[in-house]
A = this chain, B = another copy of it.
Amino acid sequence: MEQGSNRTQPMRAKTGSAAWRKVEECWSEGKFLCVGLDPVLERLPAAIQSGDPGERIFEFNRAIVDATADLVCAFKPNAAFYEQYGEAGYRALSETIAFIKSNYPGITVILDAKRGDIGSTTEAYARAVFDVLGADALTVNPYLGEEAVRPFLERADRGLLILCKTSNSGAAEFQDAIVGDTGRPLYLVVADHVARLWNSRGNCGLVVGATYPTDLGRVRDTVGGDVPILMPGLGAQGANAELALAGRGDPSWGLIANAARSVIYASAGADFAEAARREAEKLSVDLSEALK
């Protein structure tokens, strides 16, 4: 397997994929942090507590993005937090993505929407996420299999981050089910399929929660170094980030470590943007230490 041989190389591996070009550039500068943009109106700072909900969310996001952009490899808005505000939320999501792309073109925008449907519907989702909203990457649910996801995979310039082991406490219910005579849990079978069978265009990555550091290491051992891993749940468990790079010669590659609430709600005061930056800096340092 190519992954296996790359893992022994001392040089930084590259996917060679247009989908990960921007994030690879950030990794080469030592930036592994991703900030999750998950707005909740009630938690916005007092300074942004009046006016149209969509405009308030956009104003908040813009301040967070401006304050942290030079520290991150990606921003990750989660679709649910916008959909809960209806049309105004949709507008805020659309404007947020457009703002990042036009002001920080080197930063990858991951839409965390965990989409997954049959092929003809996936085509419509691909248009919605990549063409209408303009996201660079999307989180995807693997339950329906490669054939259903194909219209996403065919967008070679866009990244797909496939759910593997999710960060929630009940993730094991199906993800840890041992599959047939492989002796492996479902999440590792998913990881293996994605790396070997889904990733012919080099645009696939995996989602593995920071809350399962041992599983993160097993996934990295399974897929080798060329498959990016989005690791949600940073903050509480950031020190375990090194495990996501287990099995690689060069640690300066491959991880998108997401923190959301701990950064964006670091302060509810007028200093919320500065506080978000301080928290992002702290996480970046922790991450660099862990990855050394």
Which residues of A are in contact with B by a Cβ distance under 8 Å? Answer: 38, 40, 78, 80-81, 83-87, 89-91, 94, 114-119, 121-122, 124-125, 127-129, 132-133, 141-148, 163, 166-175, 177-180, 186, 189-190, 193
Contacts and interface: CB of A to CB of B under 8 A. Distances in A.
Nearest to A150: B170
Nearest to A166: B144
A78 B128 contact: no
Contact of A141 (B119, B127, B141): B141
13 contacts: A84-B125, A84-B132, A114-B115, A118-B166, A141-B143, A142-B143, A144-B163, A145-B168, A145-B174, A147-B168, A147-B169, A178-B180, A186-B186
B171 A132 contact: no
Closest 9 CB pairs of A and B: A147-B170, A145-B173, A83-B128, A80-B124, A145-B170, A118-B168, A178-B180, A84-B127, A84-B124
A143 B94 contact: no
Contact of A121 (B78, B133, B142): B78
Contacts of A180: 177-179
A121 B85 CA distance: 13
Contacts of A186: 174, 177, 186
Contacts of A166: 118, 143-144, 148
A189 B177 CA distance: 10
Nearest to A125: B80
A175 B90 contact: no
Given A173-B193, A180-B177, A125 B83 contact: yes
Q: Which of A90, A174, A193 has the most CB of B within 10 A?
A: A174
Given A84-B128, A87-B91, 16 more contacts: A40-B124, A80-B117, A80-B121, A86-B90, A87-B90, A114-B115, A116-B141, A143-B143, A144-B163, A144-B168, A145-B172, A145-B175, A147-B169, A147-B170, A174-B193, A178-B179
A118 to B, nearest CB: 4
